[in-house]
Amino acid sequence: MHKYAFLLGFVLLFAACGSKQQQVSVNDTVIDDYGREVIVPSHPTRVVSTSPAVTEIMFALGAGDLLVGRTDFCVYPEEAAQIPTIGGISNLNVERILSLNPDLVISGSMVSKKATDQLDKMGTPIVCVIEKPKFDVLYDNITTIGKLVGKEQEADSLNALMLQRVNALIDMDTARPTHSIPKVYYVVGFGPSGNFTAGGNTFINDIIRMAGGRNIAENVSGWSYSLEALVKEDPDYIIVRREDSASFCSTRPYSTLRAVRQGNVIGMESGTMDLQVPRNIDAILYLRKRMNNN
């Protein structure tokens, strides 16, 4: 059974126990993350997602059947591959989107306000739900998407289940001695083009902290990080996308880092940390096990 099918069973169980929601009007007005006032249908039946995070959350809410379009990068869960693609994210194919006759488009961080406004002017309501710097905002994004697609109870239930997992399985003891907390570096990019990581103003920083580590770039704002600082900090653990792990470990000077020499490079499945999605909790638990912080 697929993970989301199992998860959805719990979500629907929680939802069944919830209070009955009042019926809403035919159209609702929402304020999206660009501060735009958008009139949206209260119960959309044809939704296009231009964000991998939005697509994943919709499936987690049991709303995958509402999707009639997604991007080439919306590949999780596997069922998403059955949905027609609109192409890339940075340059939206407006004509392709309109050809799918959606009654709602939900976009994310990679879609500019200019592109959002352009599509809106074509008569199709588009709501932007952006990934935020703090991990806890994931719950808010799930709530927002749940309201947009008529899955409010399922969103409440999913959030409750996620919080339950966090409270039950994550030790947030801040009294632990600082010297026992492993130093961690998260690889976004590496090589001749520069070194990029997740600074302290990112939800990825929160994931590292919740997993029991200390992000060596926690005092950095943004994504750029110097090679000199990386070598000087010489982290205990390095987190990298699984498909980039071998290349990183075999490239100098990264191959000389302690984490590489000691086999403490953790390859993560794409989407578990670089997207703000329910799988972030799976990432936290996996990192805790790898870093022996259970």
- Domain coordinates of the chain in residue numbers? 3-164, 178-290
Task: Average the pLDDT over 128-145 and give the result.
Answer: 95
Homologous superfamily of 178-290 in CATH? Answer: Nitrogenase molybdenum iron protein domain (3.40.50.1980)
pLDDT for 222: 84
Closest CA to 184 of 238, 107, 264, 123: 238
pLDDT for 86: 95
**Residue 67 CB partners (closer than 8 Å, separation 6+):** 47, 48, 49, 55, 58, 80, 83
Please give the single-letter amino acid code of residue 176.
Answer: R
Closest CA to 133 of 193, 69, 218, 63: 218
Same fold, 3-164 and 178-290: yes
Q: Record the tokens describing residue 139, joined without a space.
A: 């719950």
Task: Specify the CATH class of 3-164 in words.
Answer: alpha beta
Confidence of residue 21 (pLDDT cuts 50, 70, 90): very low
Task: Average the pLDDT over 210-237 and give the result.
Answer: 95
pLDDT for 178: 55
pTM: 0.86
Is 11's pLDDT higher than 80?
A: no
Task: Average the pLDDT over 34-45 and give the result.
Answer: 93
